[in-house]
Structure formats: C-alpha cells, structure tokens
Amino acid sequence: MKSITRHEISYVADCSVLFEKISDMPEAIWLDSGKPASLQGNLDIMSSAADIIIETRGSHSTVTDANKTRISDDDPFKIAQDVLDPLLPLDACYEDLPFTGGLIGFFGYDLGRRLIDMPNKAKSLVDLPDMRIGRFLWALTVHHDTKTAEAVFHEYCPDTLKSDVLKRLCDSPANGEAKEQDFRLTHSFTATTSKTEYVEAIATIKRYINSGDCYQTNFTQHFSAPYEGDEWRAYKRLRKATASPYSAFWRWPSQALLSMSPERFLKILPQKMSNTLLVETKPIKGTMPRGKSPQEDFKNEEILRNSPKDRAENVMIVDLLRNDISKNCTAGTVKTPLLFALESFPNVHHLVSTVTGDLLPESSPLKLLRDCFPGGSITGAPKKRAMEIIEELEPLRRSIYCGSIGYLSANNHMDMNIAIRTIVASDKVMHCWGGGGIVADSVAENEFTESLDKIKLLLTTLEDSMDKPSPRT
C-alpha cells in the first residue's frame, strides 16, 4: 500500500494568495472554486512540478518523464491510466482526501476525434495539444466549508520538492508575486464569424433538425485579441469579475488556460456506507441574462424557470447524459434527483440538472470519462451527428474549449468541468468562444445575443485593461 503524508496549512479564503506562493514553480496549476465570491464552490486544489507530462496531438502522444520523451500511438486514456497506476493502491483510510496524487490537466474537445469517427474540416486554431495532463505528487487542498487547508504528499514525492513546497506555503510574502508583469490587451476582441454567417449557420442547423438528423446542436462563435504581459494578472481580473465554481488556471511556456467555467461535467466520489463510487453530472441548458435591477433580475429568473424551450433543451441533454453514464453504471442506479435548478452567476442565470449513478465495479473513472467524452451539453443530440454538423459549420477547431479540465486522484476521486467560459492564451493572442444549443424553435437573433451574454463579461473585463479600447468588430 502506498502512503500519504498530510500537513495542516493556515486557511485563507482568497486562495490566490496561496497560489502566488507557488506560481513561479514549473507547471503550477490551480483548480479554483471561485471563493469567496462564488457561492457554489467549496474546494480548491493546487499543485506544481508534475513528474510526468502527457501531450496528445492527433494520433500521437508524447510522454515526458525526467527530461526524457517517448512517443506513443496508444489510446490517450490508456496512457493516462498507465501513468496513474503506479500511484496505486492506497489504503482505504485516505478515501476522505479529494486528492492524494494523480492526474490534473485538460482533455480538449478535439480529443473527441480519437473517439468518434467524423470528418476533419475545421482549421486548427493554435498549436495546442488535444490533451495535456500531468502526474502531480502533491497538492494543497482548501476546504471552504470547514475553513481548513492541508498539503498532501504521495510517498513518491521527492523530499526536496516537499521541503520547497512547505517552505513556500508557510512563508510570507508570496515567492512568485515579485515576478508578476502587468497585463493589457493591445486590441479589442474581434469575431471570426460575422453575424450574417452566424444566422446562416443557425438556419442550416434548423434544416438538419427538421429533416431528422438531430434534435439539438451546440453552435459556437470564436473571438480573439492580442495581449501583452502576464496571463496570471488577466486571470485575477476575470476571477474578480465573474468567480465560478469550476475555474482553473494553468500556464506553461508561451501558453496558458484561464477557465471560469460554471459547469461540472463528471464527478466521482467514494461512498463509504455502500462501498461504491457515486457518479454525478450536472448539465447546463437554459440561459437568461442578469437584470439591471432586482425587479428585472427576478423577472428574468421567472422567465427562465418557466421557458418551455429551455426546459425541453435541458431534458434532451439530461437524456443524453443518462445514456452516456449508463454505459459505466450499475443497472437501475441512474437517477435524475434534480431537474431545472436555477443557478445564478454575475452575468447570467442558468438551468442546471443533476444526474447520478453508481459506477460499475469493473469500470474506472478514466473509462467513464472516455465513454462520456466530449460532454453532451456542448455537442447536442445525438452526439455523433451533432459533432459532424459542428465540424461542418464552425470554421475553427475548439481546442480546449468545450473539453474538460480537472483532476483524477489515485484514490478514485474525480472532478472534471465543461470548459466553457474558457480563454486560451497562445503566442500572445487570447481566444474565447461563446455558444449555445440550437433546437427546432430557436430564433437566430436570440441565440446570437445569448451566446454573447455568456461571455460578454469576460471580454469586457479584459478589454478594460486597454489604454484606449478600440472598437470591437
């Protein structure tokens, strides 16, 4: 049995203070619950200095271990499992820990091309991996519900790394803070797709729906803007404006991801009483902007709660996800304990449903993730045909956007987001997407407005960094 050591750390509500203490370490990553501003999240996980990095591009994966790199054509999920397995087994006494060493990183939307047979028409946007995950041997976990924090180290974690981490976390001020640079956009975000092209695409999707090809297709539009300076500063701006429960920040040479996601894709949590692994997915379908006054805000809530279109759209994706998780869940355990719950964020209200099930004993978190990937809430239904239509109509590949960011721990805990409200920074250009589910009664003008409502706060927050904002086109 592998062992874990635990060290109590002073609790801080704003975990950016803690992350800055390790932010200059290699592969520093933060899975951010948005506290103290976000009401939904309650757990933060941060780590650094991964001992193995896996990057997948197309049919090839590179596995870098101690400055040595090998290339593999194996299934990326199998490679990930092979990297995770040496950290096992762990004693049952560690079941309460959310992270005991394991994998943290992203599975980009375009990884779905390895899983679902579909044409390759969309142009590649940036030279980003389809999957990038690291094996991390330590983590700082912060529980906001109990106001506790602890550093957890797998027995494979080198003593030198452990000493460095503990010194950083216990010292003040933050080690990385002095190296921060300022941040600013040098031009406003511009759209890749014109409004006319967007409207034409919606009309095409509706023709496919009317001909029986699909029930719903998620269509997105892309924006980009050049920038200068520190992506961490940009993330702090976004976090202050729109804290979200499934956020993330990760930076590596010349690239970074800044995710302010409000949506959970898949969570696995061991259940001590039943000795089972509980699966949970929480799809979002249904959006309404926040009102300018309390009265208008309440009115918008009621409109969304009672919208037949949004409720029908939500149910379609709930049915898809019930089917997806059923492939790896015990028969009869898949349930929908919550439909159409209202969740509110700084920019929008959402309808969120919850689907649960018990993971089959012969399955695993990575197998569940593979068989459900990419998430149905950002493809449409049926998934394969919706993805084919997306490939036909979206001119650029989605990259990390609409994939998943999160962690898989050696003790079978897993939590993955849907990477919406996510910005990809690559070679001094920031990329952002906004979209939504298109159904038979969708109105193109309304869908266009909704797609902007979802990301407007992200775009304007970053544009506020400019010396003199230029007109967005």
Q: What pLDDT digit, counting tens, does each position of 385-435 carry?
A: 999 999 999 999 999 999 999 999 999 999 999 999 999 999 999 999 999
Quote the pLDDT of residue 35.
Answer: 86
Between residues 218 and 274, which one has the greater pLDDT? 218
Of 229, 226, 240, nearest to 190 (Cα)?
226
How many percent of the chain have pLDDT more than 70? 97
DSSP 1-67: -B-EEEEEE---SSTHHHHTTTTTSTT-EEEE--TTT-SS--EEEEE---SEEEEEETTEEEEEETT
Quote the pLDDT of residue 77.
Answer: 98
**Mean pLDDT (whole number) for 27-42:** 88
Where would I find the H helices in 327-410?
365-372, 383-393
Q: How confident is the model at residue 469 (pLDDT cuts 50, 70, 90)?
A: low
Q: How confident is the model at residue 40 (pLDDT cuts 50, 70, 90)?
A: confident
pTM of the entire predicted model? 0.96
Between residues 41 and 44, which one has the greater pLDDT? 44
How many CB atoms neighbour CB 17 within 10 A?
A: 13
Among residues 20, 263, 313, 388, which one is catalytic? 263
d(CA 417, CA 263): 6
Quote the pLDDT of residue 129.
Answer: 95
Strand ranges (E), 327-403: 335-344, 348-358, 380-381
Of 279, 275, 252, 245, nearest to 420 (Cα)?
245
Q: Name the residue range of residue 335's domain.
A: 4-179+187-463
Predicted confidence (pLDDT) at residue 60 exceeds the cutoff of 70:
yes
Contact of 15 with 30, CB cutoff 8 Å: yes
Mean pLDDT of all residues in the chain?
Answer: 94
Contact of 437 with 141, CB cutoff 8 Å: no
Query: What are the pLDDT digits (tens) for 112-128?
Result: 999 999 989 999 888 89
How many percent of the chain have pLDDT more than 90? 90
**Mean pLDDT (whole number) for 204-215:** 97
Calculate the alpha carbon distances from 131 to 80, 93, 404 in Å.
10, 32, 10
Q: How confident is the model at residue 56 (pLDDT cuts 50, 70, 90)?
A: very high
Let me know if residue 472 belongs to a domain.
no
Quote the pLDDT of residue 177.
Answer: 46
Let me know if residue 469 belongs to a domain.
no
When divided into structural domains, the chain yields a total of 1
Let me know if residue 283 belongs to a domain.
yes
Let me know if residue 54 belongs to a domain.
yes
**Mean pLDDT (whole number) for 312-326:** 97
| Three-state DSSP state, 147 | coil
Would you give the DSSP letter of residue 205?
H
d(CA 104, CA 123): 27
Q: Please give the radius of gyration of the chain, using alpha carbons only, rounded to the nearest integer.
A: 21
Let me know if residue 470 belongs to a domain.
no
Domain harbouring 390, CATH code: 3.60.120.10
Quote the pLDDT of residue 38.
Answer: 73
Q: How confident is the model at residue 173 (pLDDT cuts 50, 70, 90)?
A: low
Q: 446 pairs with which residues across the strands? A: none
Element (H, E) at 143: strand 138-143
Quote the pLDDT of residue 178.
Answer: 45
Predicted confidence (pLDDT) at residue 226 exceeds the cutoff of 50:
yes
Residues 6 or more apart whose Cβ sits within 8 Å of residue 171: 21
Among residues 285, 313, 383, 447, which one is catalytic? 285
Let me know if residue 468 belongs to a domain.
no
- Whether 292 sits among the annotated catalytic residues: the reply is no
d(CA 305, CA 307): 6
d(CA 353, CA 250): 28
Quote the pLDDT of residue 67.
Answer: 78
Query: What are the pLDDT digits (tens) for 63-82?
Result: 999 879 999 999 999 999 99
Contact of 94 with 397, CB cutoff 8 Å: no
Of 374, 368, 371, 403, nearest to 387 (Cα)?
374
Predicted confidence (pLDDT) at residue 473 exceeds the cutoff of 60:
no
Let me know if residue 357 belongs to a domain.
yes
d(CA 407, CA 278): 16
- Whether 313 sits among the annotated catalytic residues: the reply is no
Residues 6 or more apart whose Cβ sits within 8 Å of residue 269: 277, 278, 280, 413
Let me know if residue 473 belongs to a domain.
no
CA 377 to chain centroid, in Å, comes to 13
Of 376, 377, 378, 386, nearest to 205 (Cα)?
386
